[in-house]
């Protein structure tokens, strides 16, 4: 994730808030289609975050250490804590969808 995206994500509250279903459904004309789009985007965000976290933690992995040689790494713990504090991907996807940042095609447009 680039720095601007990190700043944006850390400014979003990680607490789940009630959403207006009419507002969500108004974007596509169908609440179920809107929720499906949000779910697909949340899966994308979750995958990106997981890949990024595993990439950062891979730097600390030692494949030759035995159980006795593994020690606590403060930087690794800080990275993990940062990712634990991030908002859930569904919250991020909902904010993006309501903000008009998610591109999607309607079912009618797909068939044409």
Tokens of 89: 């991907």
Average the pLDDT over each of 30-44, 59-73, 89-103 and give the range with the smallest value: 59-73
Residue 79 and residue 57 in contact, taking contact as beta carbons nearer than 8 Å:
yes
Mean pLDDT, rounded, of the chain: 80
Residue pointed to by tokens 């990712």: 83
Q: Which of 25-34, 44-53, 56-65 has the lowest mean pLDDT?
A: 56-65
């Amino acid at each position: 994730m680039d720095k601007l995206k990190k700043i944006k994500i850390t400014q979003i509250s990680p607490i789940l808030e009630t959403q207006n279903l009419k507002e969500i459904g108004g974007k596509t004309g169908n609440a179920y289609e809107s929720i499906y789009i949000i779910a697909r985007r949340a899966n994308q965000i979750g995958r990106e975050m997981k890949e990024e976290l595993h990439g950062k933690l891979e730097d600390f992995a030692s494949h030759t250490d035995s159980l006795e040689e593994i020690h606590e790494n403060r930087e690794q713990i800080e990275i993990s804590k940062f990712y634990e504090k991030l908002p859930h991907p569904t919250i991020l996807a909902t904010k993006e969808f309501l903000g008009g940042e998610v591109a999607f095609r309607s079912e009618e447009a797909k068939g044409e």
